[in-house]
Amino acid sequence: MENIFGLDEKLITLASQAESECTAAFAEIDRIAEINGQKVLKAFIDNRVSEGCLKGTTGYGYGDIGRDTADKVFAQALGGEDAIVRHTFVNGTHALSTALFGILRPQDKLCFLTGAPYDTLEGVVGKEGDSGSGSLRDFGVQNEIVPLKEDGTPDLEAVAKAAKSAKVGYIQRSRGYSLRPSFTVDVIAEVIKAAKGANPDIIILTDNCYGEFVEEKEPLAVGADLIVGSLIKNPGGGIASTGGYICGRADLVEKCADRLTCVGMGKEVGCSLNMNREILLGFFLCPQTVASALKTSVFACRLFEKLGFKTLPESGEKRTDIIASILLENEKNLTAFCKGIQKGSPVDSYVTPEAWDMPGYESKVIMAAGAFTMGASIELSADAPIREPFAVWLQGGITYPSGKAGILLAAQEMLSAGNITL
């Protein structure tokens, strides 16, 4: 390894050892990327993506061939009957909110089958006493949270009990700002089996953020009715500059489209401007970009395990999303790590991240992300709430070499600050 960044020689030696211990994991990542890459390519071929699809429309967006073809490509590759893929989704939470408001009605019950959702959904769901906010609760939608078991896994017995009276069952694939495990597609299948066994009519919505193309199959293949995600995470491939998607059962996608635009217009309106090329190219690159992010994550976990820190998942565990948590034990380590990630970023490498009151979160959050697209977590980034156990959530890396360099600079920053020793 050439020492371009002036790293400590002992750190370079340790990193080389860590990388060599990742060989088997890297081979599995490459195997899955090849399968998913072929799946995406076939979706492009089958749906006759043409040069005309790369162009955009303005105004009402009637007859937007690129927009409509992108919906078909996403649906086929992700295993759905239909999809709505739009740059007008401002983030993953917006896409999830659109889906929930699209399929739920007053007096319906929404059941969170895998514990409490992301903090950003609290406002969407609503809290007691927030009358007039426009939340689901404000519209008369009831909700229940099924707690996870002590080991962080779904409580299938409790899932079945709660599902009996629920219109929608919500599954969150990734861990969010928690230390519970992210749920593999096989685990999601068990949750769905328990829920639908108790209530065959329940609609299963899966928050698929951070999970697309990490495994060989998606939650739709095991019984989910809708999956939802963000284009500045996995499926945008580091190219899409904004957007999100909803994919699954055609009748449910239609309801969601009516919510995004208006009833009676649905998917038929909404100009794509200049976004079709970004969305299609990003999705085409997605399997390989996800592979780079996964390799970065596995390497980071192995290196920091060797430095004496606990990681979730451990470096040798099966992956179902691109997120890893590293328990850095104190605020100084956490801050130094994020500073190092920022120094290893291609954009804004010279700035210093500081904790701030981020909208939608209860604790102050520190974020390191020198990204080409603001907030794009498929690009190497790290963020953490400033609270115990001072875990940093690491994700992304659109190329493995640059991702690895960022991880090394994070370790070097901790070393230089005297927070760790070799």
- Whether 334 and 251 map to the same domain: the answer is no
Check residue 419 and give its pLDDT. 78
- Whether 150 and 198 map to the same domain: the answer is yes
Check residue 389 and give its pLDDT. 87
Question: Which domain CATH number covers 77?
Answer: 3.40.640.10
Ranges under pLDDT 70 in the chain: 1, 360
Check residue 356 and give its pLDDT. 87
What's the structural domain count of the chain?
2
In a domain, 239, yes or no: yes
> Which residue, chain included where needed, has tokens 């061939």?
65
In a domain, 337, yes or no: yes
Two tokens, residue 292: 């780079």
- Whether 278 and 291 map to the same domain: the answer is no
**Which residue range forms the structural domain that includes residue 158?**
40-283
Residue 152 zone, left/alpha/beta (φ > 0; ψ -120 to 50; rest)? left
- Whether 214 and 125 map to the same domain: the answer is yes
- Whether 225 and 327 map to the same domain: the answer is no
In a domain, 346, yes or no: yes
In a domain, 2, yes or no: no
Check residue 360 and give its pLDDT. 63
In a domain, 394, yes or no: yes
Task: Kindly list the distances between the CA atom of residue 390 and the CA atoms of 133, 357, 360, 403, in Å, as whole numbers in the listed order.
Answer: 32, 17, 19, 22
CA distance 60 to 372: 29
Q: What is the mean pLDDT of the chain?
A: 95
> Which residue, chain included where needed, has tokens 């493995």?
400
- Whether 53 and 86 map to the same domain: the answer is yes
CB-based burial, 74-86: b 16+ in 10 Å, e otherwise: bbbbbbbebbbbb
- Whether 212 and 84 map to the same domain: the answer is yes
In a domain, 362, yes or no: yes
Domain end, chosen from 238, 257, 283, is at 283
Question: Which domain CATH number covers 402?
Answer: 3.90.1150.60
- Whether 277 and 302 map to the same domain: the answer is no
- Whether 304 and 254 map to the same domain: the answer is no
Domain end, chosen from 268, 283, 298, is at 283
- Whether 13 and 104 map to the same domain: the answer is no
In a domain, 380, yes or no: yes
Q: What is the pLDDT of residues 199-249, one digit of tens each?
A: 999 999 999 999 999 999 999 999 999 999 999 999 999 999 999 999 999
In a domain, 99, yes or no: yes
CA distance 213 to 219: 11
- Whether 379 and 291 map to the same domain: the answer is yes
- Whether 164 and 234 map to the same domain: the answer is yes
The answer for residues whose C-beta is within 8 angstroms of residue 329's C-beta and 6 or more apart is 309, 389, 390
Q: What are phi and psi of 393, to 5 degrees?
A: -100, 120
Q: What is the pLDDT of residues 369-390, one digit of tens each?
A: 999 999 999 999 999 888 888 9
Residue 173 in contact with residue 161, Cβ under 8 Å? no
Domain end, chosen from 266, 283, 300, is at 283
